[in-house]
Amino acid sequence: MDKIKKSYIYVFTAIFSTALLCIILRIWNLDIFAPFNYGGDSAFLQEMLKGIIEHGWFLENSRLGAPLGSNLYGYPMVDFFNFFVLKILGMVTGSWVLAFNLFFLGVFPAITLTSLHVFLKYKVDAKIAVVCALVYTYLPYHFFRGTGHLLLSAYYMVPLLCWLALSMFEKNGYLFRTEIVSWKNLDKKTLLWVLLIAAVAASTGVYYAFFGILLIFFAGVFASINQKSKVNLISALIITAAIGSVSMLNVLPNLIYRAAHPESAHVVRAPGESEMYGLKLAQLLLPRTGHNSSRLAGVKNTYNASAPLVNENDWSTLGVLASLGFLFSLLALILDRFRLSDIYKRIGVLNFFSVLVATTGGFAVFIALFVTSSIRAYNRISVFIAFLSLLTVAFLLNNFYEKYIKTRNQKIFFYLGLLGLLLAALYDQAPMHAGSNICWRDVMNSDAKFFSSLETQLGEHAMVFQLPYMPFPEAPPVNKLTDYEHFRGYLNSKSLRWSYGAFKGTDADAFIKYLSLQTGAVFIEDLITAGYTGLYIDRFGYADSAAALEKNIEGVLKEKPFVSENGRFAFYNLGKYKNRSFNSKKQVLR
């Protein structure tokens, strides 16, 4: 296939993928200038994105954790490339909302293009490749992750990582010209492109980088043993070393900070969490939760209602088409043992290895105990299994096409069948009842109005103390107040400084927690002494909607709070009390 024809295929597929996205999401019901999601983990990433726009990067934010400030050095993230793209979008649009939404929409065609590239690289017929690429793009995994796990939704490098793993089975380990391991024998051009892919993959999420390393290294070891040649293992070591090194560069600021502050707080995972969030074979093969077919949705609901450890592993559903590819790849491996003469067996080896490692109670437990417990959600390897399984489907369809489809009419019927297969897969995998973000737009507009009023009252750079106290990051709900919702003030203000966001376990967090435990006049005096000029209460954080707390505060301040239109937020301007207190002390001194 010549380059011009291939470029047309890429352009057409990207446009087609975007059109499908518009239909599936009912884009006409969405307001691109309002957040697609405005709570939970989305708010955490939105805070980081706003911090990037305001401060250049997300690691430090002087407007959070006031008065001492906030930093994320204890929360390492291997997402430099994703954050760089978000930064560019933020600079161009000047809006964290628009940048967030455009990134989410953009990763769909990006996934389509990278998966299409791999299918075409394996000489799959272009129309088959387009269909399988689109099926992979619109996995249930993608919709479940959505904007809540925006960076996990960006799995566009996974197809290339799977390709690198499969390439380790090639003779000479793909990187070398012969079985002789030497610098002169390296294919320099191939090595350059492979290292570039490895570098980007190492900067698009720690889970995808980690699983890529596992699969590539295992493929190199297995192929070296099978072919009795060390060249495959050396190739795998070169690539995994590149991914690992760039991943470490991503978190170098975190490592430097930890070295300079050895007692600093950081997120700690327990080894047992690898079992809690492990992969479950049943979840891979069962219909997705909320299936468009009520009967299939009922099957999944029955399982979820009685099965143990149902959590985000529920989102690992492959869909019918990928499930068939998965089962066929395992069958091909079992029937012909371990002679890796064709692609089906190679895929089967990688799928089988993925299940052995990631399944609940599998080898992931040993990794968590003896290597690292920071990787806990092994169910996320399902997106690798899905691609490998759809690659199997692509090869099966391509073999059928080359063997049996000869005449023009046969080709027409075959391509119509492909279109039907795509539509059936989309019905199986994608929600056909997508909602709108109008409700989030209305909520944010209400918030923006409230917090703008606060900013007008207090002036620039004023400090606001937030109640109830909530640890950051990763805290359970406090009554109806869920994790990261305290970021709403920051997201809707220009210069106000907020108490929430101090990393748990730090001095800043300890100071804020201490203040939150005070009551009455002592509490108000301590806030003023610390430099706060405003007190903000989210009533969702209290069983009595903060009635008792507000009564206590009003008894000290002698004034009613300023309340948001929806009645959720209450705010006290401490300026009047501060002035009265200052004047009283001044009179006493006289």
Reduced 3-state DSSP string for 111-135: HHHHHHHHHHHCCCCHHHHHHHHHH
pLDDT band of residue 588 (cuts 50, 70, 90) is very low
Looking at residue 339, its pLDDT comes to 55
User: Per the structure block, which two tokens stand in for 390?
Assistant: 């759809």
Residues 439-473: pLDDT tens digits? 889 999 999 999 999 999 998 899 999 999 999 99
Looking at residue 590, its pLDDT comes to 45
Looking at residue 589, its pLDDT comes to 37
* Average pLDDT of the chain to the nearest whole number: 92
425 with 442, same domain? no
Classify residue 398: in a domain, yes or no.
yes
Classify residue 500: in a domain, yes or no.
yes
Residues 523-555: pLDDT tens digits? 999 999 999 999 999 999 999 999 999 999 999
Residues 185-196: pLDDT tens digits? 888 889 999 999
Classify residue 57: in a domain, yes or no.
no
Residues 469-504: pLDDT tens digits? 999 999 999 999 999 999 999 999 999 999 999 999
Residues 290-333: pLDDT tens digits? 999 999 999 999 999 999 999 999 999 999 999 999 999 999 88
User: Per the structure block, which two tokens stand in for 51?
Assistant: 């911090």
User: Per the structure block, which two tokens stand in for 326?
Assistant: 């998965």
List the single range of 8-17, 150-159, 177-186, 406-415 with lowest mean pLDDT.
177-186
Per-residue pLDDT, averaged over 9-25, amounts to 94
User: Per the structure block, which two tokens stand in for 142?
Assistant: 């993608």
Beta carbons of 501 and 472 less than 8 angstroms apart:
yes
372 with 485, same domain? no
User: Per the structure block, which two tokens stand in for 94?
Assistant: 């000047």
Classify residue 111: in a domain, yes or no.
yes
**H-state helical runs in 150-230:** 150-153, 158-167, 188-201, 206-227
Alpha-carbon span 355 to 345, nearest angstrom: 15
497 with 540, same domain? yes
Evaluate if residue 30 carries a pLDDT over 50: yes
Evaluate if residue 586 carries a pLDDT over 80: no
Percentage, residues of the chain above pLDDT 90: 81
pLDDT band of residue 1 (cuts 50, 70, 90) is low
Number of domains in the chain: 2
Looking at residue 490, its pLDDT comes to 96
| 170 three-class SS | coil
Domain with 462, as residue range(s), is 438-589
Per-residue pLDDT, averaged over 68-88, amounts to 94
394 with 515, same domain? no
Classify residue 314: in a domain, yes or no.
yes
176 with 112, same domain? yes
Percentage, residues of the chain above pLDDT 70: 97
Residues 105-149: pLDDT tens digits? 999 999 999 999 999 999 999 999 999 999 999 999 999 999 999
| 551 three-class SS | helix
Residues 185-226: pLDDT tens digits? 888 889 999 999 999 999 999 999 999 999 999 999 999 998
Residues 337-391: pLDDT tens digits? 555 558 899 999 999 999 999 999 999 999 999 999 999 999 999 999 999 999 9
Cα–Cα–Cα angle for 408, 413, 416, nearest 5°? 125
| 481 three-class SS | strand
Classify residue 287: in a domain, yes or no.
yes
Omega into 561 within 30° of 0, i.e. cis? no
pTM to 2 decimal places: 0.93
314 with 418, same domain? yes
Out of 398, 429, 460, a domain closes at 429
For the residues of 388-409, what is the DSSP string, one character each? HHHHHHHHHHHHHHHHH--SHH
| 236 three-class SS | helix
What's the distance, CA 369 to chain centroid? 25
Looking at residue 340, its pLDDT comes to 56
